Amino acid sequence: MGRITVRRPVLRLSASGPPVRRPDTLAAEEPLEIRVAGKPLTITMRTPGHDFDLVAGFLAAEGVVGRAGEIAAMRYCADTEEQNTLDVLLSPGVPPPDDSMTRAFTTTSACGVCGKSSIEALRADRPYEVAADPVRLTPAVLAAMPGRLREAQRVFDRTGGLHAAGLFDAEGELLAVREDVGRHNAVDKVVGWALREERLPLTGTVLMVSGRASFELTQKAMTAGVPVLAAVSAPSSLAVDLAEDAGMTLVGFLRGETMNVYAGAERIAL
């Protein structure tokens, strides 16, 4: 797994037996500095791997790019031996990020915009209109997705410490899966893959996440043109507000054969 996982000693305790010292496999977490034309934009904590997808997805979510052709090149900076700095060169004519977007702080899995005023801001800046997406899904197709996503989580099997995001089509076929210590990073990696494959907007798809559905994840799905967001855990109230406002379908507590539909129930074929 290379830098995706690391080995660390651990003391295993039991209430009924002697302590045991043994090595354990952990999910790696390292900083990634994102630069645009040499200018620092942000630093995010991530699991190394699929960094180009992560950066492309992050730039798409921020509205910096909307298609693969707007990114001329991406490269790791030669002055960083650990490959923890990635510089993006935008294509001619693509405006650089506004100075107000520059994030001079470390982002985490809890970062992101918040507040109902953010919904008003997003309403005026939506690249795709997901409300018009006619995709229809059956409960059976949705119910099969968590198991298929779990089967594809190779690093989680070794560490138990990663989030996952999977992109499915309306028939339940898994199109792409990415893992990361941060929920938002896993989604950015999937969206970045789609952008680099020139698949945006993600019409007729379902984005499945292994944790809860936050406002930020809903915003990232909406920005990529995803009509259906599904999560194995609960959504936040603001995520439901955004899904309703955008015309998205939001499914939570997708476990076993049951699920809760919080918005956009008209897309579920009963």
Q: Average pLDDT by consecutive 10-residue portion of the chain (270 residues)?
A: 79 93 90 94 93 97 94 87 89 90 50 50 79 97 96 72 92 96 95 98 97 94 97 95 96 96 96
262 touches 252 (CB < 8 A): yes
Residue 111: the pLDDT is 46
- The pLDDT, as a whole number, for residue 60 is 95
Written as six digits, the tokens of 149 are 């996503």
Give the model's pLDDT for residue 3.
80
> What pLDDT shows up at residue 156?
61
Distances (CA, A) of 133 to 130, 143, 208: 5, 21, 17
Residues 6 or more apart from 167 whose CB is under 8 A from it?
174, 175, 176, 177, 190, 194, 202, 205, 206, 207, 208, 226
Q: Are residues 156 and 164 in contact, defined by beta-carbon separation less than 8 angstroms? A: yes
How many residues does this entry show for the chain?
270
User: Active-site residues: which are they?
Assistant: 111
Specify which residues 86 forms β-bridges with. 34, 76
Give the count of beta carbons closer than 10 Å to the beta carbon of residue 243: 26
C-alpha angle 187-190-195 in degrees, rounded to nearest 5:
120
Which pLDDT score is estimated for 83?
86
Q: What is the pLDDT of residue 98?
A: 82
Q: What pLDDT, on a 0 to 100 scale, did the predictor assign at position 115?
A: 41
H or E, element range at 148? helix 139-151
Per-residue pLDDT, 121: 67
Query: Cα–Cα distances in Å, from 130 out to 32, 102, 126, 136?
Result: 31, 28, 9, 13
Cβ-in-10-Å burial (0-12, 13-18, 19+) of 150 comes to middle
- Report DSSP state, residue 213: B
